[in-house]
Amino acid sequence: MSDSIHTPHKPHAGHDHDHDHDHDHDHGHDHDHGHEEKHDHASHAHSCCSSTAAPSVIKLSADVSVGARLSSFRIEAMDCPTEQTLIQNKLGKLAGVQQLEFNLINRVLVVTHDLPSTDPIVAAIKTLGMQADPLEAGTDADAPLAPAPQKHWWPLAVSGVGALAAEVLHFTGAAPTWVIALVALVSIFSGGLTTYKKGWIALKNLNLNINALMSIAVTGALLIGQWPEAAMVMFLFTVAELIEAKSLDRARNAISGLMQMAPDKATVQQADGTWLEREVKDVELGAIVRVKPGERVGLDGEVVSGNSSIDQAPITGESLPVEKTVGDKVFAGTINQAGSLEFRVTAAAGNSTLARIILAVEQAQGARAPTQRFVDSFSKIYTPVVFLLALAVAIIPPLLMGGAWFDWIYRALVLLVVACPCALVISTPVTIVSGLAAAARKGILVKGGVYLESGHKLDYVALDKTGTITHGKPVQTDFVPLDPLYTESAVLLAASLASRSDHPVSLAVANAVVDKNLSLRTVDNFTALAGRGVRGEIDGKVYHLGNHRLIEELGLCSPALEEKLFALEEQGKTVILLIDSAGPMALFAVADTVKESSREAIRELHALGVKTLMLTGDNPHTANAIAAQVGIDQAQGNLLPEDKLKAIEALYAQGHHVGMVGDGINDAPALARAEIGFAMAAAGTDTAIETADVALMDDDLRKIPTFIRLSRDTSSILKQNIALALVIKAIFLTVTFMGLATMWMAVFADMGVSLLVVFNGLRLVRK
C-alpha cells in the first residue's frame, strides 16, 4: 500500500490570499493527474447534488502528527461531491484519521492517519456501498481506471416500458389497480434499485442528497397509491442522471484529455548505442531520447543533437512552431515537425511540465471560487429547509385548514423533487472546470477558481519591464562613427574588446558583428574596469570601450559629445564609446528591445478598460521611453522590490483591483500582494507553476487580456446559471403550491435546468 511518513507542507510564501486549497504532499506516488475517464457512469447513480460540496483537502484535526502515514485508495464509485460528502462525514468520525484529500477526477482518496492498518478505513467506506481499493506502493495513482463492467441496457428499457404501461393502463382504466401497481413496481425496481440503495445509505448518515430526496418522493407516491406517477418519476430520474453524468464527463475530459498529448512510449538510446522503444514512465533522467518528424515529444529534455521546428501550442499556446537546436528545451506533449532530434531527459514523466500543468489545473478545482463557496453554503442550508417545508406542506393544511391529506401529501412530494438543488450545485464546478481547461489550452495556467472568477474585476495591471514588456536581451541599436575614416575598423575593434567581457551590454556589441563574418582581432593585456568598461591592447595600441563615466574620467568629454550621448540616453538606450589615444572613435547604443506582442497586449488591455503601470529598476529615462513605445499609461523607474510593493499598495488605496505581471525574484513581493499575480514564461520554470496565481506558459503578454476576457465570460456564465436555476425553481415551486404541477413534470424541470446549466458552462471549453 502507498504509505509514507508525512512531510509537513511548506506554504506558499508571501501570499496573503485566502486559499481554499494549497496542498502539495509528498504522497509516495506522483500526483500528476490526467487521463481519459472510461468508467461507465451508468453503473451507479451519479449525482452531483449534495447538501455540501467540500473542498478537495479536509483537515479533520488541528495538527497532523509527525508519524502520520499517507494511504491512497481508488474508489470507483466516488466521482462527485455527493460521494465525497458521505466519505468525509464517515471517516471524520473514525479515530486516527487526520486529513482527507479527494481527487474526484481520478477517483483517488488520500488519507492521512496514524492507524496500524487501513482495514478500518476500507470497512468504513464499505458501509457506504463503495469499495476502496488500496493502491500498492509504486502504483501510479494516476493510471487510467480499468474499464468498468458494461452495464446492461435492458433494465432501463424494462423500467421505461413499465412506467409507460402503468400510465396507459391507469389512464384508460383497462386494468385493475393491483395490475397497475405490479407493473409500476417492476418498473421502479428494474431501474431504481441503485437510487434506493444510495438514498438509504445517505439517510442512515443523515445526509439529504438527491438520492435521499428522490427515494422519499417515490416511496411517498407509492404509499398514497400514485403507482404510475412513482414509476415514471423513478424512470425519468434514472435517465436524467445518466444524461447528466455523460454531460459532466465532457467537463472532466476537457482536462483529462490533456494527458493524451504525451505519448506512452519513447525511443531511448541503450548503453551499447542501439535504440529501443520504452514506456516513458520507465525512462530515467539523463537518458537520450530520439524523436522523429511528426512524432510527439514524450518527456521534457534538452536538445543534444539535431535541428527542428516544434509545435509548442499544447504547452505554451503559441500559434507558430518554434525552432529548436542544441541546448534548447523541449516539452512533453509538443509535436516535432521537421527534422529528427535527440534530447537528454531532464524530468521524469510524472514531473514533466505537462504533468505539472494537469496537476495544477486539477488542484485548482479545490480552490473554490467565491460563487461556488456561496452556492455550497446556500445548499447546505437550503436542502434541510426544503425538506422541513415539504413536511409542513404535507401536515399543516390537512391538520389546521381541513385540506385533503392526499392532495397536500402529493404536493409535498412534488415540492421535494422540484426543490432539489442539483442544478444550482453543479452549475459552478462545471463552469469553473470548463474555464480552467479553456485557459490551459491557451497556455494560461490558472491556479484556482477564485482567480478565474475574480479576474473580471481587474481594472489596473502593473508590469515589470525586463523580460515582460521587453525581450530581456540587450541588442545594439545604433552605431555612430565620430571619424568616418575609422568606421569599419571601429566596429571590429569594439567587437574584439567586447567579446572578452560577459557584461550584457558588451555581449550586445560583440553579437552585432557575428553575422558579418568578420574575424575578431587578438586582444592583449585585457583589463575590466569595474562600473566603467574595459581596456586592452590590439596590435600594440591601447583602446578603451566604456560608458559615459569612463570618458569623463579620461578627460575626453566635450559639449558636442555630451549632446550626442544625451540624445541616445533619452531614448532609453545605454551608450558606450570606443576610445583610442587620440580620443573617442565611435558611439555604440544598446537597448533592450520591446516585444511586438507587448504593444498589442497593451492595446487590448486598454480596449477592455484596463489601465497599465510599468514598474522597473531601470532609470526613469528608460522607463518613460519604453512606456511611450508600448503605450503604457504610467511608468515608474529606479524601483527596488519594496518600492514595487508600495506602488501596488498605492493602487489598492485608490480603490483599484490590481494584477501584477513579472518574471523575476525581484517581482515576488509585488506579485504576492497583487490581487492576481501573473508569472511570465513559466514553461520550464519549476517554481513559477507552483507559486504563481496565474502562470503564462510563454512570454507572450497578450495572454493577459485573453485571461481577463475568459474571466469575464466565466463570471457572466456563473451568474446566468445561478439565475436560471433559481428562477425556474421559483416558477415551479409557485406552480406546485397552486396544485398544478405533477411529479413527472417536476423531474423534467429539474433535469432540464440541470442540463441547461451544464451545457451553458461547457461553452467556455469551446471559446
Spatial CB neighbours of 272, under 8 Å, sequence gap ≥ 6 = none
Distances (CA, A) of 607 to 321, 460, 552, 651: 29, 13, 47, 20
3-class secondary-structure state, position 570 = coil
Strand order in the sheet with 583-594: 470-481, 583-594, 574-580, 541-546, 533-538, 524-529
Give dist(CA 740, CA 344) in Å, integer.
Answer: 71
| Residue corresponding to grid cell 534548447 | 328
Give dist(CA 588, CA 618) in Å, integer.
Answer: 19
Spatial CB neighbours of 517, under 8 Å, sequence gap ≥ 6 = none
Please name which of 683, 630, 694, 637 lies closest in space to residue 661, comparing C-alpha atoms.
Answer: 694
Catalytic member of 32, 464, 618, 693:
464
Q: Please work out, in degrees rounded to the nearest 5, the angle formed at the alpha carbon of residue 681 by the alpha carbons of 679 and 682.
A: 70
Give dist(CA 357, CA 696) in Å, integer.
Answer: 11
The amino acid occupying position 522 is: T
Contact assessment for residue 47 and residue 80, using Cβ atoms and an 8 Å cutoff: yes
Contact assessment for residue 579 and residue 545, using Cβ atoms and an 8 Å cutoff: yes
Q: Helices 422-441 and 743-766, interaxial angle, to 10°? A: 10
Read off φ and ψ for residue 739, nearest 5 degrees.
80, 20
From the number of C-beta atoms within 10 Å of its C-beta (0-12, 13-18, 19+), residue 56 rates as buried
Please name which of 733, 676, 723 lies closest in space to residue 703, comparing C-alpha atoms.
Answer: 676
Contact assessment for residue 201 and residue 128, using Cβ atoms and an 8 Å cutoff: yes
Give dist(CA 117, CA 453) in Å, integer.
Answer: 42
Give dist(CA 250, CA 198) in Å, integer.
Answer: 24
3-class secondary-structure state, position 705 = helix
Read off φ and ψ for residue 97, nearest 5 degrees.
-85, 125
Distances (CA, A) of 644 to 305, 570, 606, 732: 42, 23, 22, 54
Is 407 one of the annotated active-site residues of the chain? no
Catalytic residue IDs:
464
